[in-house]
Amino acid sequence: MRKTANSLFHYYLRFRMRHIRRYMEQPHEVQRYWFERLLLTARDTEWGQQYGFRNIKSYRQFANRIPVQGYDSLKPYIGRMMMGEKDVLWNGRVRYFSKSAGTTSDKSKFIPVSSQNLKFCHIGGTWDTTTFFYDQRPNAELFQRRSMLMGGSLEQFEGYRKTYIGDVSAVMLDRMPSIAKPFFTPDFKTALLPDFEEKIERMAHLCSKEDVVMIGGVPTWTVVLFRRMLELTGKSNMLEVWPNFQVYIHGGVSFMPYRDQFESFFPSENGLPAHRQVCYQEIYNASEGFFAIQNDLNSDDMLLLLNNGIYYEFLPVEEWHSEHPKAIPLEAVEVGKNYAIVISTNSGLWRYTPGDTVTFTSTIPYKIKITGRTRQFVNAFGEEVIVENTEKALAETCKATGASVAEYTVAPVFFKGSKKGGHEWLVEFQKTPADLRQFTYLLDKNLQNINSDYEAKRFRDMALNELQLRQMPSGTFHSWLKRKGKYGGQHKVPRLSNERKYVEEILAFLDGETVK
């Protein structure tokens, strides 16, 4: 029966792939369609009337009337929507709001997830992910066995009980199409548990007995689950637990620092033929939308999803911190340049900046790599170090030394008196290098090779000293997140900061408590 179901899904996904290829060939026509449709749908909302959506006829008019904005500009409108008001930013009433731990003036952001956004963007993106995997792996068995998602939790909003808030993964689980539910594990009560430690424990017990073929989630917490499952089962790797496993779908943070850990969970030297080896597929699914998917498993970039209810614009680097930033449309982007994403969506985010930065690897079709966040960088001395730089430098250093990094964060060390500045790295190793001093030296050299601005500041130690590396005890970052109430779900360790807030918090945390 399950083999028959898998064959039927395979047939449907081939049809879906043909549809995707059509919009890949007509990107600007598809984006124009969504531009017009978004304005048409929202023209009678409060926002649409305020900005005269009825008589906007061109992109230029749209860009001139509505400013590029962050969360704080839309927060008052979103707050009213959460209280049940309809026709505010988007047509009708929105019931779901994705809770995002973004870098804003508030502890959390609440992003509206309309029924259209859920259907066309988030759930549509999930189907597209599956489509690409089946296209790349004709022997895929996702609808023959069980799949898992490392999701968050969902709860009623205290201010208005008909509104629900939670991680976007939890919203997607709660509204999962009925046709997909028989292939999901564990039970939905377990999957949506608010206590993440209890969730991990129950999932480890239940799912270690299932025939799992796919798991999706942020690498940080997936590693925690796998370790617990291996403890419970006494197995040496996850292929001994799930012998038919095929694909890990990841997103939220760079996979580069976790690659070695996952390859030890799913070793390739187990005698499996090439078509049975485990794949790693990257997705870019944020609270604000499902933006991109790795459509070619042999390439490390992702196809930008253009037919999902989102109209895209992009901010060049020089506009990131401008008082009145000027964005450019999709057709104006250039390969190799760094941009911040600007989106208008079918949930009422208008010319909104999520804070993520990308670079285009191709414009035929449009493919991207995530490079970091507009607020996650170190540029205290003009070195302009971004997450992509630190991830690559770490990967090269680990490869050269045989080390493996579990988590890390970086902050500047500011000038003090006659002392030079520099960078401070707090690093938790999965496998500690034999010579930590040599690791630090190589890491600094690799970062110089990757980033010419950092190299210039490091030249003969004239402006910056060699980076300082502090090895953190095992479990430091997870324990710190737990203390902050950010354990599990989509919470992540901030990689870079242009201030010392996170570094000082972690060091103070270590001074005040012994991490076990």
Distance CA 88, CA 153 (A): 26
For residues 302-339, one letter each, b for 16 or more C-beta atoms within 10 angstroms of the residue's C-beta and e for the rest, the string is: bbbbbbbbbbbbbbbeebbeeeebebbbbeebeeeebb
CATH fourth-level superfamily of 377-512: ANL, C-terminal domain (3.30.300.30)
> 124-136 and 2-25 helices cross at what angle (nearest 10)?
100
Phi-psi region of 166 (alpha: psi -120 to 50; beta: other; left: phi over 0): left
Helices (H), 326-403: 387-401
Per-residue pLDDT tens digits of the chain, which is 516 residues long: 677 889 999 999 999 999 999 889 999 999 999 999 999 999 999 999 999 999 999 999 999 999 999 999 999 999 999 999 999 999 999 999 998 754 434 557 899 999 999 999 999 999 999 999 999 998 999 999 999 998 888 999 999 999 999 989 999 999 999 999 999 999 999 999 988 889 999 999 999 999 999 999 888 788 889 999 999 999 999 999 999 999 999 987 778 777 888 989 999 865 555 557 899 999 999 999 999 999 999 999 999 999 999 999 999 999 988 889 999 999 999 999 999 999 999 999 999 999 889 999 999 999 999 987 777 788 777 787 888 899 999 999 999 999 999 999 999 998 665 577 899 999 999 999 999 999 999 999 999 999 877 887 888 887 789 999 999 999 999 899 888 877 666 667 889 988 899 999 999 998 875 444
What is the per-residue pLDDT for 436?
Answer: 97
What is the per-residue pLDDT for 104?
Answer: 37
Helices (H), 143-269: 168-174, 188-191, 196-207, 219-233, 238-241, 259-265
Q: Which structure tokens are listed for 291?
A: 């933006």
Distance CA 382, CA 130 (A): 42
pTM for the structure as a whole? 0.81
Domain ranges of the chain: 1-375, 377-512
Chain Cα centroid distance, residue 431: 25
What is the per-residue pLDDT for 417?
Answer: 55
**H/E/C letters for each residue in 11-37?**
HHHHHHHHHHHHHHHCHHHHHHHHHHH
Distance CA 175, CA 179 (A): 11
Statement: 1-375 belongs to CATH 3.40.50.720:
no
CA distances from 303 to 54, 148, 196, 276, 286 (A): 32, 24, 32, 24, 15
Token pair 């989106």 in the structure block, residue = 343
CB 183 within 8 A of CB 147: yes
What is the per-residue pLDDT for 415?
Answer: 66
Residue 440's SS3 state is: helix
DSSP code of residue 123: I
